[in-house]
Structure 1
Amino acid sequence: MLMNLSSSFNLFLDDTGIFYLSYFEENVANLLSISPKSSNYFLKTFFTLSVTSESISNLLAAWGALFHQDSDLAVVNKYINRARASIKQNPTDRFDYFITMAYYLITIGIQVCSGDTSNWYQLFNKCEDLMRRYGGFLKFIKDFDYSNDCKFLIANFQFHDIMSSEALMKGTTCSMNSYNDLFKINKLLELDNYGIDPYQGCIQPIYLLLGEIMNNYVELKGERVKLNEKLNGDIIVEDPASLNFLRLDHFKKIDEKFFELTDKINYCSPIESQLQQLDSDGERAAHMKLFDLYKITCKMYLSLYIKQTQPISGEIQNHLVTALTLIHDLIKTDLISSLNMSLLICGISCCSKFDRMQLDATFDKVYSRYHVGNVKRIWDVVKEAWKRNASGNTCIDWIDICNDFGWKLSMC
């Protein structure tokens, strides 16, 4: 395909850039995507844009160079800088906004794959500000007649929002009500032959629940911190009965949220119409395993962070054994790029020497096949959690580790 378009790319790229763009098309786009080629929007949207956009063609060359064994960061940064110099920072029409949003999302992807723990989130905030200036996602997609390319950009943003350490720190950037309106009520990814999302596959409903869990955690943690300040502060509590009422109300809310969200997880299911688009029983089985893995991941989040259950508890360990078995199976599939969040939660939940040795080997296997920097960063967080919680008796909040490291971590 690329050779037929080389005359167009010669307008934007030198020969080396064209080589790395080709590498992105033939290798990187397929490595990043868990969808069939028919709905690989890294190719259908981003690569198509690169034919006519200087900034996008340079960015995809940079993404290709990042993964190529003969390249280095100086080459990657050369094409990123060229892309930055050619993008319209202040778009004026809807097409400029579309290109600029794609620019931000691609640059975020490059930074995350490189293992960056700061710049990607600054770009994410710029992307959010861009959409706010435009008038919001609903206006954006209406103005583009609900095109599948536009849906991909919005789903891409949503995925990076939920899969960020900042979501566990202060909640998702956009409300889950907004996301649910777009994806559950308006069913953006289920209409007009959108296909299977390259980041989320058929299992977006469980990612939306994960975002809801994180937002509830932020709210409950805020209450818990205030209560602990009163319980352990130097100021004498003048009305103990009132404080105890607040405590009981807090624990009641925890129970209610835990059971409400557990029910939602139990009744959640992948998008059936998308499952039917997979070509083989093996592919469908793999996507169902990924869905089961994320259901367990969500339940582990609920137990660890809503109920504050110790990792060494039988409840967590039961989930852990099942999750590790699923991860072992999924490493052998094309869905390997979707394991990051589950690897993190499983890592925090590993308490025994046996499980930690197993997970060490698992990270090596994942990194050997999916050679991206944020996998290494996640592994760093897991190892630090083991240092802080040698026996598994403490509920380790991985966002505290990120904050101590000064990191804003992406699980994408």
Structure 2
Amino acid sequence: MAGPRKHSRTGCVTCKVRKKRCSEDRPICNDCDRLGFTCVYLPKTSNRQVLSRYKAQVEQELLGKKNHRRVDEDEVALDGEIVSLGEDPYLSQPLADPLMSQLDPVGVHLYSYYRTHLAQIISIAPTRQNYYLQVFLPMAHQHAGILNGIMAWSAHHLSITTENGEGAEQQRDSSYLELANKYTLKSLERLRSEETNSETFLWTLAQVLVLCAAEICQGDVKKWKILLKFGAGLIEKNVGSDISKLLSLRSSQSTMPHLDSRTRYWLLANFIYHDIMCSQGTFFATEQYRKVLYQQEQETPSVSTETLHLDPLHGINRPILLYLGDITNLMRKMKQSSLPFNKDHPQFREYMEAAHDLEMKLHQAVPNVTDLKAYRETSSDNDLCLHLFRLMQTAALIHLKTTCLKYSKYCLEIQYLWTLLSDRLDLVLGTKLEGSLCFPMFICGINCMDKEQRDLVEWRFNNIMKRYKCYNFQRARIIMRKVWNHENVDVSDLRSDSVSSHSSDNSEFMFDLTNKDWYDIVDEMGWDISLPKVSICHII
């Protein structure tokens, strides 16, 4: 017969208040993770007065949650508890702890802005998978570098005060911009001074990822890649070339709390998505990334897969995003040689086989059943997520065919795919998933072949920029317009000619063997661009 349950003296405050046994997982225990509660641990040197203050604030949060619980079609049922997406527990006031107590009123405002607004709108996944709240926020309570990075991110977002358009970059709130620079510098100073070892490097990696996201959010085209490269170096230094080892990493006694497998998975997944969406190629092989992200397919997964499927950045689109990384890597290989890429190129057969293999895989790609199930729990989102998946699939096919397979955008097949992409954009534009449209809108834009199509794409950019503080949309449009300006033909006169030419098998319009494409334009500009969802933030 089992003995009586004992309450741990070192468990989290929330479990103490709820009189539940705490698993003591950090940065968030099992019960707080499962039920969506804020999880805060007492500092080792705290006294009874500090404990009383913590308990009072936890009780206030739990009472507020109980009184404001709402049941509607957007609520998610988790083990008998109802967690309303509209009344998320993170919307309460921040809990006090040693780091938070050092913040001035401006710092508290920036922290609260991240907690109540920014982290909510970054994620397109249901609340339980919003790791910007579930992982980064608890870590910020225990690491000053992460906390300062979060406040810098908030300040960058708050500094964008006008609708994006021509000249919008010069119309930023200087006071918030100054705050963003201040907290970025403080975070970087921690990064420089902190001794990183195998026991603490994951906390440093989290700090780097937050800073990276903050830079991408403001439309940076260089510094974010330097930060990501630093993060790649941390991973390689501590786990070697097999990055999946990070998931099973076991640390001994450390100055920082041990991170559970879910937290390690999220940190690595967040790094992967930034890397995949880079225009310069990936730091690690995409097969390594598949090994990490598809734990459910491993014979002996390094981490429980029950809650790891859905990513807050891209929802069910993970298969497509990995193929986009493959496309960029293949395109960069083609461009490395000084020889023109044609049938006489030494790697012609190898690269063409790889491109056709990617094309086949893209056609066969389907959403993960477990991923999709998370959206079925929220009723109306299911169809919308499927629309977004097909849209991303179509954009990736156009991208592959026009870059690696050298299809001309004027050929019938690309224009057919362009029509599908355009129609599917309209299904998602204006919905809560529209923040994921930066990449497909860019692909749609650079493959326009006449003024009518260009005007439609320009209207879509203007439309979404009315609702979003998003410098990545602005960057994408700048590159798109440079592609248009580079074209040495009047596309408005070519539409009818291109159709007849293709129908008579004229390869002049079926294939584009010219050397310059949007990758070359980006390289000439000296930009390292990233087009992920993380940089796209809705105007509150």
TM-score (norm 2): 0.68
Aligned to 2:315: 201
Alignment partners' CA distance in 2, 1:146 and 1:21: 24
Equivalent residues in 2 for 1:386-401, closer than 5 Å: 386-389=484-487, 390-391=489-490, 397-401=517-521
Aligned to 1:368: 466
Equivalent residues in 2 for 1:14-33, closer than 5 Å: 14-33=104-123
1:215 CA drift (Å): 2.1
Is 1:90 aligned to residue 180 of structure 2? Answer: no
Alignment partners' CA distance in 2, 1:368 and 1:306: 34
| Cα pair 2:215 2:224 within 8 Å, conserved | yes
| Cα pair 1:50 1:57 within 8 Å, conserved | yes
Aligned to 1:344: 442
Aligned to 1:80: 184
| Cα pair 1:183 1:189 within 8 Å, conserved | no
Aligned to 1:181: 291
Equivalent residues in 2 for 1:47-62, closer than 5 Å: 47-62=137-152
| Cα pair 1:163 1:341 within 8 Å, conserved | no
Is 1:113 aligned to residue 217 of structure 2? Answer: yes
Please give the per-residue CA displacement for 1:281-318, whole angstroms capped at 9, x wherever unaligned. Answer: 32111211111111111211221012211112211111
1:82 CA drift (Å): 1.7
1:194 CA drift (Å): 2.3
Comparing 374-383 with 335-344, greater Cα deviation is found at 335-344
Decide whether aligned partners of structure 1 residues 5 and 305 sit closer, same or farther in structure 2, where only a CA change above 3 A counts. Answer: same
Equivalent residues in 2 for 1:304-319, closer than 5 Å: 304-319=402-417
Alignment partners' CA distance in 1, 2:94 and 2:480: 46
Alignment partners' CA distance in 2, 1:248 and 1:140: 39
Picking from 305, 310, 328, the partner of 1:191 is: 305
Alignment partners' CA distance in 1, 2:112 and 2:467: 20
Is 1:247 aligned to residue 344 of structure 2? Answer: yes
Instruction: Give SS of 2:315's match.
Output: coil
1:123 CA drift (Å): 0.5
Aligned to 1:273: 370
| Cα pair 1:341 1:411 within 8 Å, conserved | yes
| Cα pair 2:247 2:303 within 8 Å, conserved | no
Decide whether aligned partners of structure 1 residues 250 and 92 sit closer, same or farther in structure 2, where only a CA change above 3 A counts. Answer: closer
Please give the per-residue CA displacement for 1:17-44, whole angstroms capped at 9, x wherever unaligned. Answer: 1101111111111221111111100011
Decide whether aligned partners of structure 1 residues 22 and 321 sit closer, same or farther in structure 2, where only a CA change above 3 A counts. Answer: same
Decide whether aligned partners of structure 1 residues 4 and 362 sit closer, same or farther in structure 2, where only a CA change above 3 A counts. Answer: closer
Please give the per-residue CA displacement for 1:338-374, whole angstroms capped at 9, x wherever unaligned. Answer: 2122122111101111111111111112222231212
Aligned to 2:237: 133
Alignment partners' CA distance in 1, 2:478 and 2:108: 35
Aligned to 1:264: 361
1:8 CA drift (Å): 4.2
Decide whether aligned partners of structure 1 residues 400 and 294 sit closer, same or farther in structure 2, where only a CA change above 3 A counts. Answer: same
Q: Which amino acid aligns with 1:90?
A: E
1:252 CA drift (Å): 4.4
1:255 CA drift (Å): 4.7
Alignment partners' CA distance in 1, 2:206 and 2:344: 47
5+ residue gaps, structure 1, are 232-245
1:200 CA drift (Å): 2.1
1:191 CA drift (Å): 0.4
Decide whether aligned partners of structure 1 residues 10 and 214 sit closer, same or farther in structure 2, where only a CA change above 3 A counts. Answer: closer
Aligned to 1:234: none
Is 1:356 aligned to residue 469 of structure 2? Answer: no
- For these two proteins, the number of residue pairs brought into alignment is 390
| Cα pair 1:20 1:64 within 8 Å, conserved | yes
Bigger helix share: 1
Equivalent residues in 2 for 1:141-180, closer than 5 Å: 141-143=247-249, 147-167=261-281, 172-180=282-290
Aligned to 1:408: 528
Picking from 323, 333, 339, the partner of 1:226 is: 339
Aligned to 1:214: 328
Comparing 401-410 with 70-79, greater Cα deviation is found at 70-79
Q: Which amino acid aligns with 2:459?
A: A
Picking from 401, 417, 422, the partner of 1:303 is: 401
Alignment partners' CA distance in 2, 1:26 and 1:348: 36
Is 1:103 aligned to residue 174 of structure 2? Answer: no
Point out which structure has higher relative CO (alpha carbons under 8 A, 6+ apart). Answer: 1
Instruction: Give SS of 2:181's match.
Output: helix
1:213 CA drift (Å): 2.0
Please give the per-residue CA displacement for 1:251-304, whole angstroms capped at 9, x wherever unaligned. Answer: 544553343222111211111101101223321112111111111112112210
Alignment partners' CA distance in 1, 2:522 and 2:350: 27
Comparing 380-389 with 334-343, greater Cα deviation is found at 334-343
Equivalent residues in 2 for 1:316-327, closer than 5 Å: 316-327=414-425
Please give the per-residue CA displacement for 1:70-128, whole angstroms capped at 9, x wherever unaligned. Answer: 6521111111112222345431342x211100111010100001011110011011000
**Structure having the higher Rg:** 2
TM-score (norm 1): 0.88
Q: Which amino acid aligns with 1:49?
A: M
Alignment partners' CA distance in 1, 2:373 and 2:402: 34
1:7 CA drift (Å): 4.8
Comparing 81-90 with 342-351, greater Cα deviation is found at 81-90
Q: Which amino acid aligns with 1:247?
A: D
Alignment partners' CA distance in 1, 2:389 and 2:355: 20
Alignment partners' CA distance in 2, 1:23 and 1:293: 32
Picking from 405, 411, 430, the partner of 1:332 is: 430
Instruction: Give SS of 1:173's match.
Output: coil
5+ residue gaps, structure 2, are 1-89, 162-172, 251-258, 492-508, 533-540
Q: Which amino acid aligns with 1:138?
A: S
| Cα pair 1:6 1:18 within 8 Å, conserved | no
Alignment partners' CA distance in 2, 1:298 and 1:4: 41
